[in-house]
Structures are given as structure tokens and as C-alpha cells.
Amino acid sequence: MDEPLLEICGLRKSFGGVQALGPLDFALSRGEICGLMGPNGSGKTVLFNLISGHMKPDAGAILLGPKRLDLVPLKPSQRRGLGFSRTYQYTKLFGSMTVIENAMVGFGPLPALRSLREVFDLRCRRATERALREKAGNALGWFGDRLAPRSNDLGLSLSYANRRRLEFARALVGSPALMLLDEPTAGMNPYETLELQRIIFQLRGQGLTFLIIEHKLFFLEDLADRVMVLVQGKRIAEGSVQEIRSDPGVRAAYLGDHDAAQA
């Protein structure tokens, strides 16, 4: 439990004159579920983009796994194979593909030689397709009958909440050790939110680690071991949901409750 899976040291990112993130130091243990909160523009998604490689940091290191491999010099496509995956704040599904195909892409590319062989070897491709379809089907299966019966519909024909579930499933297919979820419950009603909570809890039981951007405290309440709050790129609070809820700085940031901040 205490073995660090992800370690972030002195990470900084600015856009022009605006310091969007950091400097931030932060560590995530294996099997932990950590919530990430903060008002709009506080740098939560920037942190995700830095970890997944879609943005380059100005300074700092992102160390992954027991070997403490630094991700910063790697391209986003190279990072995926190292055992983490993410979802996006605005869902990014593949519009030309069906639900199951969307999930299958999550497995990532095959080795080049294998791909080449498959162009000419019918049987080889059929075997791969069957295996991938099964893996993707298992990932869709986590969401009960919300996605599986729609396997052959276009991904974009899904409802907003189901698109989020499909992104989650796509991120699951490559069997990652760490998942970064960007507002996974947006567009879901309270009942569906609790359903997702249960799924994440079960996945953690299988050894996954989660970093979750979320605004709904009741979602994080029974789920997160720890919550970190960012405001203007800086950590202003960290602790259990109870501690965060009563933290005057957090109340001020979210509600503009300046009296509480001074108290």
C-alpha cells in the first residue's frame, strides 16, 4: 500500500504570465484512490495533461512505478504502454467507430511486425480480433447492461453519461495500473453516480490506483482515501473528505466565504 506508484516533484507549468500549475509535489501509493478538487481554472486538467504528456511542463519530474521512470521526456504515445490511462473532461470518442471498436482502440497498437503480418495472414488477424473483442467486451461488462447491449451502435449515438462510461471502459482495456479520471460522473444522476462509485471501488479491489477529478463531495466521500484541493495551481488543502469539507480555505475558494477564511 505504501509503495509509491506515481511521484511528482516540483512540477510547474505556466501559460504566458499565468502560473497554471505548481510548483507541485505529490505522491500516489499503489492501490490508493485520490480525489482532486478545485474551482475552474485551478490546474486540475493541466496536471492530467502533464502526466499523460499532452502538455510539456516548464520544470519538474513525473516518476512512475517502482523503477521511478521519468515520464517528462516521453511522447504521449510512449507513455501509454507504461501502465496508466486517462479519460477526458470533454469526452473524446472515435466518431467513426462503434462502441466495441472504441473500446478496442484502448488496447493500443500492436507491434509493427505483427500488424504487417496481419495484413496478409487472415487467420492471425481473426485470432487477434477475437481476443481484443473479448477484452473490450469484459471492459464494457463492468458497466452492466448500459454499454454491452449497444456494442454495435456508433459510439456517438450514446447518451452523455454513457459516453463517459465508454471512455472509462476504453481506458480500462489496456489493463492499466493507474487511471486518471477527469470528472467521470458529469452528466450522471445521484443513483448513477453511486453506481460508478461502486465500480471504482471494485476495480481498486483488483489493485488499480485512481486519481479522480471530481466536484461532487458525496461521490468522493466513501470512496477517496484522500482529497487534494488546488486553487490557482497551488495545493491549498489535503486530507480526508471531512477535513476538506470543514477547511476554511476550501470554503472560501468554492463559495467565496471570506469570513470563514479569516476565522
Q: Footprint of other proteins on this chain (CB under 8 A)?
A: 52-54, 75-78, 80-81, 85-86, 88, 92-98, 101, 104-110, 115, 118-120, 122, 125-126, 128-129, 132, 152, 170, 174
Query: At closest approach, how far in Å is the CB of 61 from other proteins?
Result: 21
Q: Which residues contact 226 (CB under 8 A, 6 or more apart)?
A: 32, 33, 34, 35, 238, 239, 240
> Which residue lies nearer to other proteins by CB, 78 or 202?
78
Measured between alpha carbons, how far is 228 from 238 in angstroms, rounded to an integer? 4
Q: How far is the C-alpha of 170 from the C-alpha of 149, rounded, in Å? A: 16
In whole angstroms, the minimum distance from the beta carbon of 263 to other proteins comes to 43
Q: Which is nearer to other proteins, 212 or 237 (CB)?
A: 212
DSSP-based three-state secondary structure for 53: coil
Choose between 162 and 193: whose C-beta lies nearer to other proteins: 162
Q: Between 13 and 135, whose beta carbon lies closer to other proteins?
A: 135
Question: What is the DSSP secondary structure assignment for residue 3, as one 8-state letter?
Answer: S
How far is Cα 151 from Cα 154, in angstroms, rounded to an integer?
Answer: 8
**Nearest distance in Å: CB 35, other proteins:** 21
Give least dist CB 231 to other proteins, A: 26
Collapse the DSSP code of 23 into the 3-class scheme (helix H, G, I; strand E, B; otherwise coil) and give the result. strand
Three-state SS sequence of 59-94: EEEEEECCCCEECCCCCHHHHHCCCEEECCCCCCCC
Q: Residue 187 CB, nearest distance to other proteins (Å)?
A: 18
> In terms of CB distance, is 52 or 197 closer to other proteins?
52
Q: Which three cell numbers stand for residue 224?
A: 477517496
Nine-digit cell at 229?
484541493
Q: Which three cell numbers, joined as nine digits, stand for 184?
A: 467521470
* 49 versus 197: smaller Cβ distance to other proteins: 49
